[in-house]
Amino acid sequence: MRMNKNELLKKIAFSIEKGKVSLMSPHPPEMEGEKGTDELTREALDSGIPAKEILSNGLIIGMQKVGEQFRNNEIYLPDVLMAAKSMTVGMEHLEPYFKSGDIRYKGKIILGTVEGDLHDIGKKIVGMFFEGNGWEVIDCGVDVSGDMFCEAVKKNRPNAVGLSALLTTTMVSMEGISKEIKLKYPEVKVIIGGAPVTMGFAAKIGADAYFPGPQGALDFLNIACKKNKTG
């Protein structure tokens, strides 16, 4: 029996939450043989549900639940990675609607692991959370210098820049990079994160915010973007 709109959107959100990518995906075991985000998103589009609704009431709802569960230590990194993979498949179906302007991004953020640091996975998870919640992400990769960040800001004009570091020896370079960005582009928010980073360190170097997990950073961005639009 064909699902109605609300049922279908709830099913998409649930498939994101559980990391069910497609019909053929074996994860999670209790959903074996069920449709995943791939088939459900296509079914929603084919049934005439606007792409914007699929994003807002399906994919984003699912990723928000994942973010909350991760923040509350109810799920772990492998669960987040599967949810992000599921979300990415759904976003691929919506990509043409972003390009045509039928769906608009909430804003734009540049991400990068700071100079001297080659760690990537934490940054990638944060980027997936942002993308799954309607943000355009420009990932500069790893070992990114202040000049490289500033060049990316000049080219892309983002709302924010996210700096990542996993080592105490490389987090110190965040100060110079943050100050360089704020000097040239004072309107751009600078968010920092990584295992050795703290709120006190963020305040010391003049960054706008620090969060230990992606959901907090996402909440900050959503609020900051609304203020910019209304202010």
Q: Which tens digits make up the pLDDT trace of 59-97?
A: 999 998 998 898 888 998 889 889 989 999 999 999 999
Report helix angle 121-132 to 77-100, nearest 10: 50
How far apart, in whole angstroms, are the C-alpha atoms of residue 149 and residue 113?
Answer: 10
The more confidently predicted of residues 81 and 191 is 191
Topology given in CATH for the domain delimited by 105-231: Rossmann fold (3.40.50)
Round the average pLDDT of the chain to a whole number and report it: 92
Encoded tokens for 116: 């001297």
Given a cut of 80, is residue 1 above it in pLDDT? no
CA 109 to the chain's CA centroid: 9
pLDDT, tens digit (0-9, with 9 covering 90-100), for 153-172: 999 999 999 999 999 999 99
Q: At how many degrees (to 10) do helices 77-100 and 37-46 cross?
A: 30
125 pLDDT tier (thresholds 50, 70, 90): confident
Strand bridging mode 209-210 / 160-164: unpaired
The strand pairing partners of 107, in sequence order, are 135
Are the beta carbons of 135 and 107 closer than 8 angstroms? yes
Judge: domain 1-103, CATH 1.10.357.10.
Answer: no
Look at residue 23 in the predicted model and tell me its pLDDT: 96
User: pTM value?
Assistant: 0.82
- CA 139, CA 64: separation in Å to the nearest integer? 21
The pLDDT, as a whole number, for residue 110 is 97
Closest listed residue to residue 63, CA positions, set 47, 85, 44: 85
The whole-angstrom separation of Cα 215 and Cα 8 is: 25
Domain boundaries, the chain: 1-103, 105-231
